[in-house]
Amino acid sequence: MRTVFRKKVTILLLAACAAGVDAAEWKIDPTIEFRAGYNDNITLRIDDEASSAEARLSPSAVFSVVTPTSGASGRLRFDFRRFEDDSNLDDNNVRFVTSSYHRRERSELGLDLDFIKDTTLDSQLENTGLVLDRTTRYRVNIGPSWSYNLDARTEARFGYNYSDVRYNNTGETGFVDYHLNSGQASLQRVLNERTMASITLSHSQSSNENQVDSKNTNLQGGGSYRFSETLSASLFLGVRRTEADFSQSSLIPIFSGDELIGFIPLTEDVSRSDWGYTFSGSLSKDFLRGQTGLSASRDISNDVNGIPIEVTRLRWNNLYRFSEILSGNLNIEFYRSETNNNARNSLNRDYYRIEPRFNWDFQQFWRISGSYRYTKQTFDNTGGDATQNAAYLTLTYRWPRIAASR
């Protein structure tokens, strides 16, 4: 499996560099970050809470290359994380994300390529909030797109995305490899200097190695409006249909007269489907010293095994600059996740997170950040709440930009 992924990563690197053959400008921004802190409930459990001090070293680089008709940009990041009280949680992760384009007179061809190696300690908390086990996850995304300007104000866009997710030790952990195919077509029109409207039709299909197949189709329309140079809003509404096909096992009782004499195992194919609504909206305001933004959405996501879950999200993000070198952030997030078709209602939950952060740029290329994160989640089928308190101190160094042109 690792050989397959090495080949895929090589393809990603070659494709990302191909856009820069006729490059006019190259830019690289290297960064190294060291974070140390303490987490009192690493796996966010109600019982058997695991706490530990931790440290993380994260070298990274953001790059871009641009020509008059094409370009590419991306980021490469490594995370080396160590836990003081439980070395089994130690991990070495990598994230490589690229986006490239080639522009013609009225059209543009794009390609997004991602490779991610992380652990289910992170991906499970992000998707379901439930850490059943920990193993290494590999994820590859490939997303070509094409857009065409019908006129000066109208654009048609078509996109496709393929995701392949694999886990180590699937037989021992219960995680299931899966892949996801999705596509979308949209039509966008600029109505005036302040208003944009669009409509999007999307379809996705996932399949895992336990022969669980799901399909989701979504039609959504709406637009955005700029009230002023500092205030803007957007709203999109839609309807979806989700289908799931899987095998379900049961035991059929056998009677002899009134006496139960045994059971016969029966496996049958089950198909379930339902309709729902989707939406996404945002409101953002810029101030002289900062900005604030509200966003809300409801859509279908996939859990760690590719099974669809419906997620409703609310976010409030804030930034305030006290001075040229001192700033602060306050981010508040809530979301409600529900397993579609009630297939696994044990994953239905409410999730809350509050995270204040302060940043001090004490030298030209140096920054110190301090943050605190409070997290709480409640599952529908449990009688208690899981809470987490985490505090971190981060030191960041950003090298001067490396630039070249030819």
For 2-405, give the CATH class: mainly beta
Angle formed at CA 283 by CA 278 and CA 286, multiple of 5 degrees: 155
Distance CA 213, CA 166 (A): 16
Q: What is the DSSP letter of 5?
A: H
35 HSE (CA, 13 A, CB side): 20
142 Cβ neighbours under 8 A, 6+ residues apart: 111, 112, 113, 161, 162
Is the four-CA dihedral 66, 67, 71, 76 of positive or negative sign? Answer: negative
DSSP string, 82-136: EESS-GGG-EEEEEEEEEEEEE-SSEEEEEEEEEEEEEHHHHHHHHTS------E
**pLDDT tens digits, the chain, 406 residues: what are they?**
545 544 554 555 445 454 444 557 999 999 999 999 999 988 888 887 889 999 999 999 999 999 999 999 999 999 999 999 888 889 999 999 999 999 999 999 999 999 999 988 777 666 655 555 678 889 999 999 999 999 999 999 999 999 999 988 777 767 788 899 999 999 999 999 999 999 999 999 988 877 778 899 999 999 999 999 999 999 999 999 998 886 655 445 565 554 555 555 555 567 788 899 999 999 999 999 999 999 999 998 877 666 778 889 999 999 999 999 999 999 999 988 887 654 444 568 888 999 999 999 999 999 999 999 999 988 877 667 889 999 999 999 999 999 988 7
331 Cβ neighbours under 8 A, 6+ residues apart: 315, 316, 317, 318, 353, 354, 355, 356, 357
pTM score of the predicted model: 0.82
DSSP string, 253-286: EEEETTEEEEEEEEEEEEEEEEEEEEEEEEEEEE
Per DSSP, the three-state class of 47 is coil
44 Ramachandran zone, left/alpha/beta (phi>0; psi -120 to 50): left
